[in-house]
Chains A and B, each alone.
Chain A
Amino acid sequence: QVHLVESGGGVVQPGGSLRLSCVASGFNFVDYGMHWVRQAPGKGLEWVAFIRFDGTKLYYADSVKGRFTVSRDNAKNTLYLQMSGLRGEDTAMYHCAKDRSGSGDWFDPWGQGTLVAVSS
């Protein structure tokens, strides 16, 4: 059974940095692409980033490009999201999700998420 557990969220000042982690279990992590999706409080879903199974292709939403970096450590079954230059509009619950394939497709399931709050 697929299990995804995010961590690393917290309160950070505008302009600050944070690194989120997502530990995966229950499937062969090395074979699958992974996504980050966020949801601001009371708002809709926003796709954030994707990393191919081997880490060779990365894609980002325009709203985070140049500020966020997705990476993975296949030996540790762990996905990361390095966030810098944080803004108030980055305040959200951040979820990782397993892609159907290695290279980009629909995705499910999702982890429960980790909350990031950007505030002075």
Chain B
Amino acid sequence: EIVMTQSPATLSVSPGERATLSCRASQSLSGHLAWYQQKPGQTPRLLIHYTSTRATGIPARFSGSGSGTEFTLTISSLQSEDFAVYYCLQYNDWPYSFGQGTKLEIK
């Protein structure tokens, strides 16, 4: 089973600033990494798939990068609606697995 580790657990950033979230896999994912955003009381929303491809309707301030076992989600200029919990998902091998999440909070 592939273990996904996200860091940090909580990230405090001011609106307008840049946020960088990390996700590490216990083995290579061949790029099969997605990012989801979850706001309180809502279902998760897909942001990024295949490491760096934005899902339909996702603003350009969200970008994904990485390779092998190390991946990053960057939000270039935080808006109020971006404060949420973010999860990475590996879909390279069964069973699929999520990271434990990073809570992005207002500083």
Contacts and interface: CB of A to CB of B under 8 A. Distances in A.
Q: Do A and B come from one complex?
A: yes
Interface of A: 35, 44-47, 50, 59-62, 95, 100, 104-113
B36 interface: yes
A112 B43 contact: yes
Interface stretch (B12-20, B65-73, B74-82, B88-96): B88-96
Contacts of B1: 62
B94 A59 contact: yes
A50 B97 CA distance: 12
**Majority-rule SS of A interface residues:** strand
B100 A106 contact: no
B94 A104 contact: yes
Nearest to B49: A106
A104 B34 CA distance: 13
9 contacts: A44-B98, A59-B95, A59-B96, A60-B95, A106-B32, A106-B46, A109-B43, A109-B45, A110-B44
Contacts of A108: 45-46, 55
| A35, A46, A50, A110 interface centre (most CB from chain B within 10 Å) | A110
A61 B34 CA distance: 18
B4 to A, nearest CB: 10
